[in-house]
Amino acid sequence: MKTEKRGKVVRYNKWGYIFLIPFILVYLVFQFIPLASTIYNSFFENYRSGLTQIGPNFVGLENYRTIVVNGDLITYAENTLIMWVMGFVPQIIVSLLLAAWFSNPSLRLRGQRFFKTVIYLPNLIMASAFAMLFFTLFADSGPVNSILAQMGILAEPYKFMSNVWSARTLVAFMNFLMWFGNTTILLMAGMMGIDTALFEAAEVDGATSTQAFFKITIPLLRPILVYVIITSLIGGLQMFDVPQILTNATGDPMRSTMTLIMYLNKHLYSKNYGLGGALSVVMFIVTAILSMIVYKFTNKKED
Amino acid sequence: MKKKLLSAVLIAAMTAGMLAGCGAAGGETGADTTQPQEQEQEAPAEEAAVEAAETADEGKILNIYCWNDEFKRRIQDHYPGYTADASDATKGTIGDVTVVWNITPNDDNAYQNNLDETLLKQADAADDSKIDIFLVEADYALKYVDTELTMPVADLGITEADLANQYQYTKDIVTDSNGVLKGVSWQGCPGAMFYSRDVAKEVFGTDDPAEVQKYVADWDAFNETAATLKDAGYFIISSVNDSYRVYSNNVTSKWVEGGKINIDGNIMKWVEDSKALVDAGETNTYELWSDDWSKGFYPEGKVFSYFGPAWFINFSMAADAEGSIGNAGGWAATEGPQGFFWGGTWICAAAGTDNPALIKDIMLQMTSNEEIMKEIVVADDDFVNNKPAMEAMAADAGYSSKILGGQNPLNMYCAGVEGLDLSNLSVYDQGCNEEFQNAMKNYFDGNTDLDGALELFYKAVVEKYPELTY
Amino acid sequence: MKNDRETNLKKGMNIKARRGVAYVVLVAISFLCLFWFYVLFINATRAHAELTKGFTPIPGSSLWTNWKNLSAGRAASALPIWYGLFNSFFISTLSAALCTYFSTMTAYAIHAYEFKMKKFMFTFILMIMMIPTQVTALGFLQLIGKMKLDDSFIPLIVPSVAAPVTFFYMKQYMESSLPLSLIEAARIDGSGEFCTFNSIVLPLMKPAIAVQAIFTFVSSWNNYFTPALILHTDKKKTLPILIAQLRSTDWLKFDMGQVYVMIVFSILPIILIYMFLSKYIVQGVAMGSVKG
């Protein structure tokens, strides 16, 4: 569809550059300088002890060595991925399911408007406010524990934040709650671009709605799906605020909920631009590789 | 509904003095000759007048950095000659000087991040945008005090005699490694142990503080009592984090010795004692201020005691909630095993300020002018940093606290704080104390053994202070 | 999965059953979403001391008292919550507008034109997206200090012009829903490029713009980290800073009831704005006719 008539377009192409100017200008001024200094700093010993600046002293790849040698990076990467998957799998399933139901004309769901509106609402609550509610609800003496106790499931209060898997589950659950509406909206907006005539034609041909979903919706939704997966992956690798607030920045129990960015944040306490910079560069490379794989994999049918 | 606790006794006694003080200070007239005033404590009015004259050739902007409006309210209510700007809450005036309040909340370390950046740029900043005054808390006071960026109070012309009535511990906290005093505070936050009278009567047969004190006189007695209380169905304290402060205020070595992380014996004793308490089900590992922790403010929480200073019992223990222990006057105060303090705000002058005379006056007026100190007690229920005033109240039989069932707790606070030796603070305290409690929670909860928890602690501290080893 | 032709006979039943399942799931999810607002509201109606008792499902009676304590007293100690509301609104609106407009423009540049740097630029922007923002945040602050933009709204608004995530979405959306033939047609009609973008492309992108406008608006509205370090004057502060300030207040004044009322106060406007913007997503914009 889009390869036709490319030739005529050529003379307008200088507009491509013109339209890019605002982005590039703002990017260079506000983000590129800090970014470049991040990479530059990763080769230096550069931190603050209290108010005393140490460095910058050039140390070559020493910061990278430190990161690799102490081995924590792998642990935190694992934690991050585990919690991301725990949140993302239900998130994408629920989102696709909802999007499919909403876009399926034969289902004729009532109150769609209400449901579509409601799902995004949790995202409006600040993570810190959300965490306050979680603390209240999942406290030892909180309502969740007392309900479980009344139902006879628990003899004594379960310490949600003191056990590895329940703590991770709460983090994943909160991430899920905050972001599934976001994903669903993205998918719905994508589906809106799909011509309903295609579904009608499919129905006439006797296709079931399941078939229609997998044969029509998913393929046409591919670019948006790619977007959702890649941004979720990136967002997942950069998971920070929810576990940070829920565990008071400790990553307890025993740092099993400590994510990569929480680890990075630890270094920012001492303004450790050296180690922090190196960590960012490593994360950037890992993210880039993963995203490229996803991008190539999901886009391969296109040409 | 806030009870003016500390005020009752002072009101009558001081009304006359206060009026005199206010009238004279507020007038700001009759600036005589300018002369350095070293010795006199008794003439706040004259001082104020003199300062007003002295400050005339100083900078016209006074920048104050802080994290909430507590100090602003104190200045507004008590500093002679301060006028709030009606249209802009971040501004006020003292004479012809504009006071600019720069308030950054604590969350996410934002206050310190902001203060750090600005302080480090202080030398290059224009006079009017330089920080003049900044406030610090005990945990991180030394981070600022132990640098050239904070001015010694002596350089402002404040003498030891000026501060003679202040509690020694409040000076220890803002004394740098060379023994130079670099800040002052108007508050004293000595703590006491608050226990439930009902539980004491039930378990020990008495709620008399002197009797109960015997059960918690030292940590051994405290731990034995914990077992007794457990048998009766009570937790001795709500959380191990309650007693941490009491242990950590009584250390005999610093967190860092010669670049190496060092864990003091008393801190390790906290770990041992706490682990035993938790394992025996005699207390819990709740975070301070969490719902679980504060349920002991009510009888159903089954908590025997909390450690805290005056502000804690007055404002934090739900005394105005129906059904709470405090509401029924069910608490009593005793000294507990060891003295400690909790909280407080210190005023520091930033090096390079262009308003030294004004800062001097603010420091003196707000922390050592007895009239103003008494005013603060009356108006704000603060425990002020002034020994004679507080001791007079402690001895007054007419003063009593309703929350504490009619007890006058002040001698408990005063007794505890006198023995406090805070010479072992270090610039690493905030990070070390936080990380230590965090790491040990894992040990108490049974998620790791002691070595694992210590390992975690060391790791976390080195992340925060990369120059340290262990 | 694979339904045979025969099952089409049962389709009527089938759909009913599936509709039933859908309703059950939807109701459960809606409950999960709305429950938090209920808890927030309950907590906002309870006094500070009551809140220490833990959660109860029954509202307290202190909503009005909490609100009065929060807003009352033009006294100098009162938080400038109305300024906060205005500032948050101002910053978020402009951020959302700039972000969506320029991201669409950037995406359009990459989508509709052929030029040498195109591939490079696309990859480049994708790469930027993967850089964790945490580390650059502190460098960003130093930069702002050097540019003398401290205590100004500019560093909170203008950087949203370069938003790689939004750009990426716009680009992907155009791929699925913006046929180049349409632009061709416009050119034949003699429409200028800039004019085409504004009058043809932008309207077609409405659902995508609405989506991203909401996202940007919300994240800007709830942002605490950067504003807290940049804004110092009380009257310039945004709502999250004021909430944090309320929470770090001294114990004499500390009042969780007020904190919760403040949270409710800062959520209500954003709910209204969301309701307004969501009609573009929810009701649907007739894209089908364009594609035909």
Nearest to C130 among A22, A97, A288 (CB): A288
C-alpha distance from C249 to closest chain A C-alpha (Å): 17
Q: What is the pLDDT of residue C12?
A: 54
The answer to whether the CB of A174 falls within 8 A of the CB of A166 is no
Nearest to C245 among B102, B105, B312 (CB): B105
ipTM: 0.86
Does pLDDT of B448 surpass 90? yes
Number of H helices, E strands in chain C: 16, 0
Token reading at B387: 């020994």
Out of A13, A30, A107, name the one closest to residue C19 (CB): A107
Given a contact cutoff of 8 angstroms between Cβ atoms, the answer to whether B238 and B293 are in contact is yes
Q: Domains (ranges, CATH) in chain B?
A: 7-188+343-384 (3.40.190.10), 191-340+400-464 (3.40.190.10)
* C162 inside 8 A of chain A by CB: yes
Beta strands in B124-207 (DSSP E): 133-136, 191-196
Q: Is-contact B270 B248, C-beta < 8 A?
A: yes
Report yes or no: B467 at the A interface, CB cutoff 8 Å: yes
Closest chain B residue to A269, measured at CA: B464
**pLDDT of the residue at A14:** 83
| C residues 228-267 lying closer than 8 A (beta carbon) to B | 228-229, 232-235, 241, 244-245, 247-254
Of the pLDDT bands very low, low, confident and very high (cuts 50, 70, 90), residue C283 is low
Contacts of A129 in chain C (CB under 8 A): 40, 243, 263, 267
Place of tokens 């404040």: B158
Instruction: Show me where the domains of chain A are located.
Output: 1-33, 71-299
% of chain C exceeding 90 in pLDDT? 29
Closest CA in chain B for residue A139: B292
Q: Please give the pLDDT value at position B382.
A: 78
Please count the other Cβ atoms lying within 10 Å of the Cβ belonging to residue C114: 12
Q: Could you tell me the pLDDT band of residue A300, with boundaries at 50, 70 and 90?
A: low
Chains that touch A (3 or more CB pairs under 8 A): B, C
Q: Tell me which residue of B55, A210, B467 sits closest to C11, measured CA to CA.
A: A210
Separation of alpha carbons C233 and C235, rounded Å:
6
* Chain B adjacent subunits, 3+ CB pairs under 8 A: A, C
Mean pLDDT estimate for chain B: 85
CB-based contact A254 B442, cutoff 8 Å: yes
Q: Looking at beta carbons, which residues of chain A come within 8 Å of C136?
A: 31, 34-35, 38, 280
Question: Which alpha helices (DSSP H) does A104-163 contain, by range?
Answer: 112-118, 127-137, 143-150
Distance from CA of A295 to the nearest CA of B (A): 35
User: Percentage of residues in chain B with pLDDT exceeding 90?
Assistant: 55
Torsions phi, psi for B434 (to 5 deg): -60, -55
The vertex-C181 CA angle with C177 and C186, nearest 5°, equals: 110
**Which ranges of B132-196 does DSSP label H, i.e. alpha helix?**
141-145, 168-172
Provide mean pLDDT across the span A209-215.
80
**H or E element: which one contains C162?**
none
| Nearest-CA distance A31 → chain B (Å) | 19
Site of tokens 């994708």: C126
In this predicted structure, the answer to whether residue C10 has a pLDDT above a threshold of 70 is no
Determine the 3-state secondary structure of B259 from DSSP: coil
C145 burial type by CB count under 10 A (0-12 exposed, 13-18 middle, 19+ buried): middle
* CA–CA separation, B69 and B258 (whole Å): 38
* Interatomic CA distance for residues A171 and A251, integer angstroms: 11
Q: What is the pLDDT of residues C53-98, one digit of tens each?
A: 777 888 888 888 888 888 764 444 567 888 899 999 999 999 999 9
Helix (H) or strand (E) holding B94: strand B91-94
B114: pLDDT strictly greater than 70: yes
Residue B132: half-sphere exposure toward Cβ, Cα within 13 Å: 28
With CB atoms and an 8 Å threshold, state whether C52 touches B297.
yes
CA distance B421 to B426: 13
Q: Cβ separation of A33 and C143 shorter than 8 Å?
A: yes
What whole-number distance in Å separates Cα of residue B445 and Cα of residue B440?
A: 8
Beta strands, E only, chain A: 44-49, 52-58
Looking at the complex, report in whole angstroms how far the Cα of residue C161 sits from the nearest Cα belonging to chain A: 6
Domain covering A71-299 in this structure, CATH number: 1.10.3720.10
Strands A44-49 and A52-58, bridge-based pairing: antiparallel
CB contacts < 8 Å between B and C, how many?
A: 107
> How far is the C-alpha of B234 from the C-alpha of B232, rounded, in Å?
6
**Residue B259's closest chain A neighbor by CA?**
A49
| Token pair listed for B49 | 């007048």
Is A200 a residue whose pLDDT tops 90?
no
> For the residues A202-218, what does the mean pLDDT come to?
81
Given CB atoms, is C278 within the 8 Å cutoff of chain A?
yes
Q: What is the pLDDT of residue B56?
A: 60
- Identify which of C34, C108, C115 has the shortest CB distance to residue A13: C115
Residue A157 has what pLDDT? 86
Bridge partners for B98 per DSSP: B61, B93
Structure tokens belonging to residue B316: 């934090």
Tokens of C19: 């509709």
- Give B260's strand partners: B257, B469
- C: neighbours with 3+ CB pairs under 8 Å? A, B
Tell me if C232 sits within 8 A of B114, measured CB to CB.
yes
Strands (E), B172-257: 191-196, 235-237, 256-257
Select the more confidently predicted residue: C288 or C47: C47
- Confidence (pLDDT) at C281: 64
CA distances from C167 to A62, A73, C98, C162, C172 (A): 36, 31, 12, 8, 9
Q: Give the percent of chain A with pLDDT over 70.
A: 93
Minimum distance, in Å, between the CA of residue B201 and any CA atom of chain A:
26
Give B232-290 pLDDT, tens digit per residue. 999 999 999 999 999 999 999 999 998 999 999 999 999 999 999 999 999 999 988 88
The whole-number pLDDT of residue A139 equals 87
Q: Hey, is the C-beta of A137 within 8 angstroms of any chain C C-beta?
A: yes
pLDDT band at B304 (very low <50, low <70, confident <90, very high): very high
**Is A206 an 8 Å CB contact of chain C?**
yes
CA–CA separation, A102 and B88 (whole Å):
51
Q: How far apart are CA A210 and CA C15, in angstroms?
A: 11
Cα-flanking dihedrals φ and ψ of residue A67, to 5°? -60, -45
Average of per-residue pLDDT across C23-41? 93
> A107 CB near a chain C CB, below 8 Å?
yes
pLDDT of residue A2: 44
- B112 to chain A: which residues are within 8 Å by CB? none
The verdict on A55 touching B (C-beta cutoff 8 Å) is: no
Whether pLDDT at B35 is above 50: no
What is the percent of chain C with per-residue pLDDT over 70, rounded to a whole number?
87
- pLDDT-derived band at C166, boundaries 50, 70, 90: very high
Rounded to whole angstroms, the Cα distance separating B290 from A41 reads 40
How far from chain centre, in Å, is Cα B13? 26
CA–CA dist C67, C50 (Å, integer): 16
Average of pLDDT values for A139-144? 87
Place of tokens 């700093």: A41
Q: Closest Cα of chain C to B328: distance in Å?
A: 14
Q: Six-digit token pair at B125? A: 């900043």
Taking 70 as the threshold, does the pLDDT of residue A280 lie above it? yes
Tokens of residue A296, six digits: 């190539």
**CA–CA separation, C240 and C230 (whole Å):** 13
Question: Whose CA is closest to A179, among A104, A86, A248?
Answer: A86
Interatomic CA distance for residues A290 and A277, integer angstroms: 20
Residue among A47, A58, A181 nearest A123 (CA)? A181
- Among the listed residues C149, C148, C107, C114, the one whose alpha carbon sits nearest the alpha carbon of residue C129: C107
DSSP β-ladder status, B61-66 and B133-136: parallel
Dist. CA A240–CA A262, nearest whole Å: 6
Q: Which residue has the higher pLDDT, A221 or A297?
A: A221
Going by C-alpha positions, the residue among B285, B271, B294, B308 that lies closest to residue B401 is B308
> Facing residues of B384 across strands?
B187
- Cα separation, B85 vs B98, in Å, equals 9
Tens-place pLDDT, residues A60-72: 899 999 888 888 8
> What is the Cα–Cα distance from B228 to B204, expressed in whole angstroms?
9
Say if residue C74 is exposed, middle or buried (CB neighbours under 10 Å; 0-12, 13-18, 19+).
exposed
DSSP element (H, E) containing B101 = strand B97-103
